Chains A and B, each alone.
Chain A
Amino acid sequence: MSATLDSLNVGDSAEIVDISSDCTRAGRMATLGFIPGRRVTVTRLAPLGDPISVDIGGQEISLRRAEARLIQVKQA
Chain B
Amino acid sequence: MATMDSRKSQKSSEQCPLVALVGNPNTGKSTLFNRLTGLRQHIANYPGVTVEKKSGLLRLGNQDLDLLDLPGCYNLTAVSRDERVVMDVLGGRHGLRRPDLLVFVVDASNLKRNLLLASQCAELGIPAIMALNQCDAAKRNGIQIDTALLAKQFGIPVVETVATRGRGVDDLKSAISNALSNPSFLPRIHWPECIAKGCQVLQTGVKDLGGDGVTQAEALRVLFDSDSVFTCGISDKICLKKMVDAAHQDIRGLGLSPGSAEAVLHYRHLESLLKGVVTSTGPIARSHESIDAILLHRVWGTLIFFVVMYVVFQSLYSWAGPLMDLIDTLTGMAQGFISPLLENMPVLQSLICGGIISGVGGVLVFLPQILILFFFISLLEDTGYMARAAFLVDKLFSWCGLNGRSFVPLLSSYACAIPGVMAARTLSDPKARLTTILMAPFMSCSARLPVYILLIGTFIEPRYGAFAAGWALFAMHFIGLALALPLAWLLNTFFLKIKPQPFILEMPDYRVPTLRNIFHRMWERGREFVLRAGTVILAFSIIIWCLLYFPRNPSVAEKIRTDFASNPTTSISKDALEHRIESAYIEQSYLGRFGKAVQPVFEPAGFDWKITVGVLSSFPAREVIIATMGIIYNLGADVDEGSEDLRTILQSEKWTSGPRMGQPVYTLPVVIGIMVFFALCMQCGATVAIIARELDWRWATFSFFSMTTLAWISAVVIYQIGKLF
**Which A residues form the contact surface with B (CB < 8 A)?**
18-19, 21-36, 44, 46-51, 53, 57-64, 67
A53 to B501, CA, bound (A): 18
Q: A21-B259, A22-B226, A59-B110 are known contacts. Are A64 and B507 too (CB-CB below 8 A)?
A: no
How far does the Cβ of A27 sit from chain B's closest Cβ, in whole Å? 5
Partner of B507, one of A19, A27, A30, A60: A60
Inter-subunit contact B262/A30 (CB<8 Å): yes
Inter-subunit contact A59/B113 (CB<8 Å): yes
Q: Does B643 contact A (CB under 8 A)?
A: no
Inter-subunit contact A60/B504 (CB<8 Å): no
Q: Does B640 contact A (CB under 8 A)?
A: no
Q: For chain B residues 205-259, which have a beta carbon within 8 Å of chain A?
A: 224-228, 248, 257-259
A63 to B501, CA, bound (A): 11
Inter-subunit contact A63/B395 (CB<8 Å): no
A28 to B404, CA, bound (A): 19
How far does the Cβ of B178 sit from chain A's closest Cβ, in whole Å? 31
Partner of A50, one of B113, B398, B499, B507: B398
How far does the Cβ of A56 sit from chain B's closest Cβ, in whole Å? 10
Beta-carbon nearest neighbor of A26 in chain B: B259
Tell me which residues across on chain B come within 8 A of A61, comparing CB atoms.
Answer: 504-507
Partner of B301, one of A26, A47, A57, A63: A47
How far does the Cβ of A9 sit from chain B's closest Cβ, in whole Å? 15
How far does the Cβ of A2 sit from chain B's closest Cβ, in whole Å? 15
A64 to B502, CA, bound (A): 8
Name the residue among B113, B288, B301 with the largest chain A CB count within 10 angstroms: B113
A58 to B260, CA, bound (A): 20
Q: Does B292 contact A (CB under 8 A)?
A: yes
**Which B residues form the contact surface with A (CB < 8 A)?**
74-75, 77, 79, 110, 112-113, 116, 224-228, 248, 257-260, 262-264, 267, 284, 286, 288, 292, 296, 298, 301-302, 387, 391-396, 398, 404, 499, 501-507
A27 to B120, CA, bound (A): 13
Instruction: Kindly count the residue-residue contacts between A and B in the assembled complex, taking CB atoms under 8 Å apart.
Output: 134
Partner of A58, one of B75, B79, B267, B284: B284
Inter-subunit contact B504/A29 (CB<8 Å): yes
Known: A46-B395, A67-B504. 19 other contacts (CB 8 A): A22-B259, A23-B225, A23-B259, A24-B228, A28-B502, A30-B259, A30-B263, A30-B264, A31-B113, A32-B504, A35-B263, A36-B260, A47-B298, A48-B393, A51-B505, A53-B507, A60-B288, A62-B504, A63-B503
A46 to B506, CA, bound (A): 14
Tell me which residues across on chain A come within 8 A of B391, comparing CB atoms.
Answer: 46, 51, 53, 62
A59 to B225, CA, bound (A): 25
Inter-subunit contact B262/A27 (CB<8 Å): yes
A26 to B257, CA, bound (A): 9
How far does the Cβ of B569 sit from chain A's closest Cβ, in whole Å? 72
Tell me which residues across on chain A come within 8 A of B296, comparing CB atoms.
Answer: 44, 46, 53
How far does the Cβ of A24 sit from chain B's closest Cβ, in whole Å? 5
A25 to B503, CA, bound (A): 10
Inter-subunit contact B263/A31 (CB<8 Å): yes
Inter-subunit contact B395/A24 (CB<8 Å): no
- Interface majority SS (helix, strand, loop, mixed), chain A: mixed
Tell me which residues across on chain A come within 8 A of B263, comparing CB atoms.
Answer: 27, 30-31, 35
Q: A47-B301, A58-B284 are known contacts. Are A32 and B506 too (CB-CB below 8 A)?
A: yes
Q: A21-B259, A35-B267 are known contacts. Are A67 and B79 too (CB-CB below 8 A)?
A: no
Inter-subunit contact A28/B501 (CB<8 Å): yes
Inter-subunit contact B392/A23 (CB<8 Å): no
Chain A to chain B contacts (Cβ below 8 Å), 26 pairs: A23-B248, A24-B77, A24-B228, A26-B259, A27-B75, A27-B262, A28-B77, A28-B501, A28-B502, A29-B260, A30-B264, A32-B504, A36-B260, A44-B292, A46-B296, A46-B392, A47-B302, A48-B395, A51-B505, A57-B112, A59-B113, A59-B506, A60-B286, A63-B504, A67-B502, A67-B503
A25 to B113, CA, bound (A): 17
Inter-subunit contact B298/A19 (CB<8 Å): no
Tell me which residues across on chain B come within 8 A of A47, comparing CB atoms.
Answer: 298, 301-302, 392
Tell me which residues across on chain B come within 8 A of A32, comparing CB atoms.
Answer: 74, 113, 504, 506
Tell me which residues across on chain A come within 8 A of B387, comparing CB atoms.
Answer: 62
- Which 6 A-B pairs give the minimum distances between C-beta atoms? A26-B259, A30-B263, A30-B260, A48-B395, A23-B226, A60-B507
How far does the Cβ of A22 sit from chain B's closest Cβ, in whole Å? 5
A26 to B404, CA, bound (A): 22
How far does the Cβ of B713 sit from chain A's closest Cβ, in whole Å? 33
How far does the Cβ of A65 sit from chain B's closest Cβ, in whole Å? 9
Beta-carbon nearest neighbor of B503 in chain A: A64
A21 to B500, CA, bound (A): 13
How far does the Cβ of A25 sit from chain B's closest Cβ, in whole Å? 6
Beta-carbon nearest neighbor of B302 in chain A: A47
Inter-subunit contact A60/B75 (CB<8 Å): no
A24 to B225, CA, bound (A): 5
Inter-subunit contact A51/B394 (CB<8 Å): yes
Partner of A25, one of B396, B404, B502: B502
